[in-house]
Amino acid sequence: MRILFLSHYAVPHIGGIEVVVDALSRELGSRGHEVRQIAAGAGGPGEVAAGGAEVIRVPALNSAERRMGIPYPVFSPTLVGALRRELEVADVIHAHGYLYMPCALGLRMARRRSGGPARVLTEHVGHVPYESRVLDGVESGAVAAIGRGTVRAAEAVIVLNERVEAEVRALGPRGPVRTIHNGVDLGHYRPPEGDERAQLRGELGWDERPRVLFAGRLVPKKGLGLALEAAASAAGAFQLVVAGAGSPPADVGDALVLGEVEPERLARLYRAADALLLPSVGEGFPLTAQEAMASGLPVFLRDQPEHRPYLDGAGPGARLLPPDAAEIARKVAALVSDPEVLERARRAARVHAERTFSWSGAAGHHERLYEQLLG
């Protein structure tokens, strides 16, 4: 099949959707499909992404992300021509995110074409709660207008959890709504071997003090403020290591702030750290949590209903906690300060990742859905 992915950004821009599309591109490409992608310009035309999919990069303004941390590029009018050319040859058009310009426009254009490609939408996060009432209201209005039109232009919608499914169904989809969980590269994200962990910590200049990793964009929904507060409450029991793009708060205590890190360096951080703390809200199940668990790193997440299906059977490899800094500090400190308990949690995290998170399985579900729509 000729599969066209539509999204806001593509790698090397770092974000959950970009990583998912790249991984699906690699897996579907290995099965003999031709995969292309339209995304905001971050490089030259026809630049090849890490997974091998050819990326058509359309010029776009990125002011919202630079100024407010909102990943919403505004595309130039040349987007229309790029979509029209790709729709001529695509068998499947698969949009990622119901508000992004290529997705909303591409699905509508494809719907108007007689005998056009199969139309699929993946909605990754649904409504994202913003602290600003103005931003939250703007997003709600956009979902009701743009999001509804995008959902209704798709022949099938893929979601990642029950919360997003409920939001999508309220918008009136015309076709089936399927749950397909994301996978993770179990070869790239792996536990440390031999003395690799000690070597990595030495290279990073870390001593034996436990290090707890926060990995994600430095935006309010990721919960960095709560993570920093928990680290301060821990009274030195562990150091928080912050990896992600954006501007941290003025006061980070004794946290180590690394800034944005490349995927390969992030994989090494997973293998060097003692746990992952990501008390995010309103984003489904974080891809970084899957990567961390695949790396043998136990995870601490905010207790939200959409997280639970992903962690059923994870045992000590994953903990769901209330948004209480003192409670988070106690639970994290108790785990990372006991070597035997920590080792059991590491093994449980990896076993659960092997059993639950597979890109091969996820790509197979996508492939069967495409075939059903085309058939």
Going by the DSSP 8-state scheme, the letter that residue 31 receives in this structure is: T
Spell out the CATH class of 2-183+359-374.
alpha beta
pLDDT at position 52? 58
263 or 89, which is more confident: 89
Going by C-alpha positions, the residue among 283, 281, 224 that lies closest to residue 255 is: 224
Q: How many helices (H) and strands (E) does the chain have?
A: 15, 15
Tens of pLDDT, residue by residue over 48-62, are 544 557 899 999 999
42 or 29, which is more confident: 29
Tens of pLDDT, residue by residue over 295-312, are 999 999 999 888 888 898
Whether the Cβ atoms of residue 165 and residue 173 lie closer than 8 Å to each other? no
For the entire predicted model, the pTM comes to 0.74
What lies within 8 Å, CB to CB, of 352 at 6+ separation is 293, 311, 313, 314, 315, 317, 318
SS (H, E, C) 340-364: HHHHHHHHHHHHHHHHHCCHHHHHH
pLDDT at position 234? 96
Q: What's the average model confidence in pLDDT over 274-295?
A: 91
Tens of pLDDT, residue by residue over 8-32, are 999 888 788 998 999 999 999 999 9
For the chain, where do the domains classified as CATH 3.40.50.2000 start and end? 2-183+359-374, 196-356
Whole-angstrom distance, CA of residue 136 vs CA of residue 143: 11
Tens of pLDDT, residue by residue over 127-161, are 877 778 888 888 899 999 999 999 999 999 999 88
The SS3 of residue 102 is: helix
Residue 32 tokens read as 């003999």
pLDDT at position 45? 46
- The pLDDT mean for the chain works out to 92
Architecture of domain 196-356: 3-Layer(aba) Sandwich (3.40)
Share of the chain above pLDDT 70, in %: 97
pLDDT at position 89? 96
Whole-angstrom distance, CA of residue 158 vs CA of residue 165: 8
The CA-CA-CA angle for residues 367, 372, 186, to 5°, reads 20
